[in-house]
Amino acid sequence: NYPAAGSTSGRIFAPYSVYKGKAALSINPILPTFTKLESGGIKVDRRGVMMLKFWPAIGERKYDWEKRQLFALSATEMGSIISMGPQDSCELFHDPSMLSSNAGQVRKSLAIKPHADGSGYFFNLNVVNNILKTSERFTVPVTTAEFAVMKAACSFALPHIMGWDRYTTHPPRRTEGSPSRVDTQLLDLEWDK
């Protein structure tokens, strides 16, 4: 039905977006890719992420999509957000050039801080680009209700981003043979390195 990787067709556009006074913020999942092994199995190749996009307001209800900045949350970073209580804050740092010769040239930091009155959080993205000599800052206030949607959406997407839906949609192995020793089988698994 849908074309394979490498093509732009088949893409899904269903971000959850919030538009506020100074900037907009959207989130959408990006699933992992898989490699087929010679054994016939499959292995996660590129891990999935939850993509956050920030873009600035340039007038009343007008936003400049061309100026967007991205921040890709890993599974563990999604865990940080899912486990946040109402008074908690969280700060994450990315260097998109890490492990390359440009390491340290671009620094991104995402800070999520609770409103003083407990009515939600501020999402702040700071991007310092030493190559382009730019520094950008986005601030998006997120209400408790919007944050609840983000948490629920992250909780839903997390197993898929980890590739765990593959375990569960996999056709079951049926053993049609003799009756089995239920109690010891489970323990047997631990021997089977």
CB atoms within 10 A of CB 154: 20
Q: Torsions phi, psi of 126, nearest 5? A: -120, 125
Closest CB to its own copies among residues 96, 139 = 96
Q: How far, rounded to the nearest angstrom, does the alpha carbon of residue 185 sit from its chain's CA centroid?
A: 37
- Structure tokens that stand for 130 in this block: 């030493």
Distance in angstroms (rounded) separating the CA atoms of residues 89 and 111 = 7
CB atoms within 10 A of CB 91: 11
Closest CB to its own copies among residues 133, 174 = 174
Is-contact 32 162, C-beta < 8 A? Answer: yes
3-class DSSP assignment, residue 123:
strand
Q: How far is the CB of 138 from its own copies (least distance, A)?
A: 14
Q: Torsions phi, psi of 136, nearest 5? A: -120, 145
Closest CB to its own copies among residues 58, 100 = 100
Q: How far is the CB of 125 from its own copies (least distance, A)?
A: 11
Cα atoms found within 13 Å of the Cα of residue 27, Cβ hemisphere only = 19
Q: How far is the CB of 145 from its own copies (least distance, A)?
A: 4
Closest CB to its own copies among residues 29, 114 = 29
Q: How far is the CB of 97 from its own copies (least distance, A)?
A: 7
Q: How far is the CB of 29 from its own copies (least distance, A)?
A: 5
Distance in angstroms (rounded) separating the CA atoms of residues 104 and 84 = 28
Closest CB to its own copies among residues 9, 87 = 9
